[in-house]
Amino acid sequence: MSLIQILAAGAALCATPSVHDGDTIRCGAERIRIANIDAPELPDSPKCHDYRKAFGWCDYKSGYAARDALQQFLAGGHARIERLGQDKYGRTLARITVGGKDAGAYLVGLGLARWWQ
């Protein structure tokens, strides 16, 4: 298998992604978490209601703004999903781009997400 084939195996286009929140989308049945960023939570997040509250970013106004900005970003064309692995919740971790522009960097640039290690 060539390097190009190996790289292509981990990447795909998603013509109709749906946005869950500022850092998570769905492509069909696949749940995809944008790698390397953290966006504010929405009110239904357990991170803002249980013992994890200290770890959640519970600014709901910014959470809605991040969700809406990601939705607008993805409306700009087909989303390219570069799969990098899975998180502990079973979601695909991926870099998401539209027209060569990175979704995570876009949201961080707007102040609606922060870099996550």
Buried b (16+ CB within 10 A) or exposed e, 7-35: eeeeeeebeebebbbbbbbebeeebbbbb
DSSP assignment, residue 74? H
Question: What's the pLDDT score for residue 42?
Answer: 92
| 34 vs 89: CA distance, rounded Å | 13
The pTM assigned to this predicted structure is: 0.85
pLDDT digits (tens, 9 = 90+) for 35-88: 999 999 999 888 887 766 666 678 899 999 999 999 999 999 999 999 999 999
Closest alpha carbon to 84 in 39, 27, 25, 35: 35
**Residues in Cβ contact with 68 at an 8 Å cutoff, skipping those fewer than 6 apart:** none
